[in-house]
């Protein structure tokens, strides 16, 4: 099946990769030199994708989890016909290029997810496969397979050592994701030297114990054996498959098989030697026509044909199943009807007090009726987070249209998988856990933000009001940490109506993750929010007076507290404005006119929030007062803990009085 032109194409990938790295004098040559054969077979003989229409929805997805091998991926994308030129390859790792050091989603056409932090590519690949399985169950018909594709990933030893890979692979096996195939570039070398110095697991037994299938290719240069293994994996109906491909890192280099070729250019002399060993007779960045022709009749031809077939099927699907088609497009375009909130419950002050996690739970039920492609999951905390969709089954192999993913106690994997689900497209997904465990999954939130994935994070039990569970479960520094992540919106709603509007922002977001910070304890439904139409500007005046001499700025559960404090000052004829600031990030986006209208510079300001005071001086100024908690919490009843740490009307009023009114 394979010819000399196929081998020529493999060596073209190797030499293009090396040329990029040498020109940049930066990069990782070892992986491309060793793994190019399996990457070539996958791309040009297996992958169902159309390089001329990179957003074709039913394409196979490929994840380079070992993102440091980016030069190989860019070489493949160029040769396959994506919008990536030789000149782009020459700009590898340079400022403003399409070819950054590690692959970035939406930055380079053909890159499905952002990778580089090892292990997260595997997690995102699991998310891609879950999304495919879920949408297949929702939209396929007996006479139409509108969703039918595979997810492939290429990983290295480092990926498999990362904890997130254990979490994600465990869930993937449990869910029987048989259309997930991972190629393992097994070269026995890590950056510091021999893999045996730090890793001695039996990978076959490990993945088998996780309900994966295991295949092995002994010679990573044998194109035929690689092809057979991938085809066999595709035929499998039970469980995902890991194919261990034994390779030689830096194959062709004088230092092949050593860590010397892992993470630094091999140098001009060794590059020449490698070319000689490959039989490569061309200049740097020169590719013979035979190679381009090989890809033209392979991935390009097959992709265009498959894409055309799918377009024809989709048109017939629309005619026969118009409602399903309409809903499918809502998910693919991530665009809900303009009035989608009209049937979502509103709250008034006569209703009983509710924790914002509880009102969020009620809101989720209403949102779930708008479209079936709204779904979510929790890290073994559905009962506490209130994020499950009632009367819906859990997502499973037997019920893959289920809308509740039981992620288990796998916070990091949950977020990485959520990123994959959003990257796949077609649905609105949320993930949830306790706020304090945001630390476990912070690295995945960072990738959400960097990638522009509009994943919704629901974090409950958001303050010391958690109480009895004590300081291990009482978030202090997490709000400041999350607010520090670029391209991330954190919303801490004051009551049920603000929570309702926070969900609106989350579902309307196109390329920004939204984090909802919700309470365990009940909060009053505020009279002032009954007619609130949006919180899109991040902060607003919730209680006002003429010529205020003091402004109290609060978030979340502390807004009602701030209102009580303002009432006490009113009794002393003090003029106090109260500002609810559910989102610092949204407020920062406003023009100076609005900011000055809400927070006039000449008026004294106080922030009130049961968390670290870090960052609040931006809004209160150098002469302001920031009331917060800059220590760990304590165990006890929630109200007692709040009182002990200064969060009651009397103690807050006293602090403000001592600062401004003495």
430 is in an annotated binding site: no
Say whether pTM exceeds 0.85.
yes
DSSP 8-class letter at 632:
-
- Over residues 184-213, the mean pLDDT reads 98
pLDDT above 90 for 320 = yes
pLDDT above 90 for 662 = no
116 is in an annotated binding site: yes
DSSP 8-class letter at 611:
S
Q: How far apart are CA 327 and CA 426, in angstroms?
A: 9
Q: How far apart are CA 598 and CA 585, in angstroms?
A: 15
Q: How far apart are CA 231 and CA 41, in angstroms?
A: 11
118 is in an annotated binding site: yes
pLDDT above 90 for 389 = yes
492 is in an annotated binding site: no
- DSSP reduced 3-state for 392: coil
List, for residues 2-35, the tens digit of each pLDDT value: 999 999 999 999 999 999 999 999 999 999 999 9
- Over residues 214-235, the mean pLDDT reads 99
Give residue 360's pLDDT. 99
Note whether 506 and 498 are within 8 A (CB): no
262 is in an annotated binding site: yes
Give residue 79's pLDDT. 99
Residue corresponding to tokens 């997930």:
180
List, for residues 494-506, the tens digit of each pLDDT value: 999 999 999 999 9
CB atoms within 10 A of CB 85: 11
What percent of the chain shows pLDDT beyond 70? Answer: 100
Sheet of strand 180-186, all strands in order from the earlier edge strand to the far edge: 61-64, 151-156, 180-186, 241-246, 213-217
pLDDT above 90 for 240 = yes
What percent of the chain shows pLDDT beyond 90? Answer: 100
pLDDT band at 1 (very low <50, low <70, confident <90, very high): confident
Task: List, in sequence order, the alpha helices (H) in 25-156.
Answer: 30-41, 70-80, 86-90, 120-139
487 is in an annotated binding site: no
Longest Cα pair distance anywhere in the chain, in angstroms? Answer: 90
461 is in an annotated binding site: yes
- Over residues 331-346, the mean pLDDT reads 97
- Over residues 127-139, the mean pLDDT reads 99
Residue 523 neighbours by CB under 8 Å, 6+ apart: 353, 354, 355, 356, 494, 495, 496, 557, 560
List, for residues 586-645, the tens digit of each pLDDT value: 999 999 999 999 999 999 999 999 999 999 999 999 999 999 999 999 999 999 999 999
Q: Which candidate, 207, 216, 152, 135, places its Cα nearest to that of 174? A: 207
Q: Which candidate, 186, 212, 208, 211, places its Cα nearest to that of 199? A: 186
- Over residues 486-515, the mean pLDDT reads 99
299 is in an annotated binding site: no
List, for residues 70-100, the tens digit of each pLDDT value: 999 999 999 999 999 999 999 999 999 999 9
Catalytic site residue 571?
Answer: no
Domains and CATH numbers, the chain: 4-305 (3.40.50.970), 356-517 (3.40.50.970), 540-661 (3.40.50.920)
473 is in an annotated binding site: yes
Kindly report the average pLDDT of the chain as a whole number: 98
Q: Which of 22, 362, 411, 474 does the annotation list as catalytic?
A: 411
């Amino acid at each position: 099946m394979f010819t000399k032109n196929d081998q020529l194409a493999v060596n073209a990938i190797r030499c293009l990769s090396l040329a990029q790295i040498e020109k940049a004098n930066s990069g990782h040559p070892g992986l491309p030199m060793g793994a190019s054969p399996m990457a070539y077979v996958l791309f040009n003989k297996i992958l169902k994708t159309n390089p001329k229409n990179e957003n074709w929805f039913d394409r196979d997805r490929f994840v380079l989890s070992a993102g440091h091998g980016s030069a190989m991926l860019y070489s493949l994308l160029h040769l396959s016909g994506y919008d990536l030129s030789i000149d782009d390859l020459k700009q590898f790792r340079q400022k403003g290029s399409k070819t950054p050091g590690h692959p970035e989603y939406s930055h380079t056409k053909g890159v499905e997810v952002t990778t580089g932090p090892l292990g997260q590519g595997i997690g995102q690949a699991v998310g891609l496969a879950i999304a495919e399985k879920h949408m297949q169950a929702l939209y396929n018909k007996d006479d139409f397979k509108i969703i039918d594709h595979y997810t492939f990933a290429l990983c290295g030893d480092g990926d498999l050592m990362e904890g997130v890979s254990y979490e994600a692979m465990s869930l993937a096996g449990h869910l029987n994701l048989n259309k997930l195939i991972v190629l393992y570039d097994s070269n026995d070398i890590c950056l510091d030297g021999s893999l045996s110095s730090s890793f001695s697991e039996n990978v076959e037994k490990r993945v088998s114990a996780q309900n994966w299938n295991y295949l092995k290719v002994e010679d990573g240069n044998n194109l035929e054996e690689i092809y057979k293994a991938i085809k066999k994996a595709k035929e499998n109906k039970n469980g995902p498959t890991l194919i261990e491909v034994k390779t030689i890192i830096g194959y062709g280099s004088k230092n092949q098989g050593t860590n010397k070729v892992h993470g630094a250019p091999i140098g001009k002399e060794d590059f020449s030697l490698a070319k000689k060993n490959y039989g490569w007779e061309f200049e740097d960045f020169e590719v013979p026509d035979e190679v381009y022709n090989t890809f033209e009749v392979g991935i390009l031809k097959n992709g265009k044909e498959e894409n055309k077939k799918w377009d024809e099927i989709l048109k017939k699907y629309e005619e026969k199943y118009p409602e399903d088609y309409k809903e499918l497009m809502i998910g693919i375009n991530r665009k809900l009807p303009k009035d989608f909130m009209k049937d979502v419950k509103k709250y008034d002050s006569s209703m009983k007090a509710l924790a914002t996690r509880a009102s969020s739970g009620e809101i989720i039920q209403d949102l779930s009726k708008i479209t079936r492609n709204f779904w979510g999951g929790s890290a073994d905390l559905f009962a506490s987070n209130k994020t499950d969709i009632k009367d819906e089954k859990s997502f499973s192999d037997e019920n893959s249209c289920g809308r509740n993913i039981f992620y288990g106690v796998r916070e990091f994997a949950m977020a990485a998988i959520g990123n994959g689900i959003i990257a796949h497209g077609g649905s609105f997904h949320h993930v949830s856990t306790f706020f304090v465990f945001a630390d476990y999954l912070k690295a995945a939130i960072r990738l959400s933000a960097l990638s522009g994935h509009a994943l919704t994070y629901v974090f409950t039990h958001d303050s010391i009001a958690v109480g009895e569970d004590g300081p291990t479960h009482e978030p202090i520094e997490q709000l400041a940490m999350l607010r520090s992540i670029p391209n991330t919106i954190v919303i801490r709603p004051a009551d049920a109506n603000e929570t309702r509007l926070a969900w609106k922002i989350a579902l309307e977001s196109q390329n920004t993750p939204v984090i909802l910070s919700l309470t365990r304890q009940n909060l009053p439904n505020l009279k002032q929010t009954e007619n609130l139409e949006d919180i899109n500007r991040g902060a607003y005046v919730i209680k006002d007076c003429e010529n205020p001499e003091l402004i109290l700025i609060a978030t979340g559960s502390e807004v009602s507290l701030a209102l009580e404090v303002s009432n006490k000052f009113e009794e002393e004829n003090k003029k106090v404005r109260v500002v609810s600031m559910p989102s610092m990030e949204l407020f920062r986006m406003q023009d100076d006119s609005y900011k000055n209208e809400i927070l006039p510079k000449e008026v004294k300001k106080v922030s009130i929030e049961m968390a670290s005071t870090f960052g609040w001086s931006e809004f209160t100024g150098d002469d302001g007062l920031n009331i917060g908690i800059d220590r760990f919490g304590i165990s006890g009843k929630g109200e007692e803990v709040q009182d002990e740490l200064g969060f009651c009307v009397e103690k807050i009023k006293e602090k403000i009085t001592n600062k401004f009114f003495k």
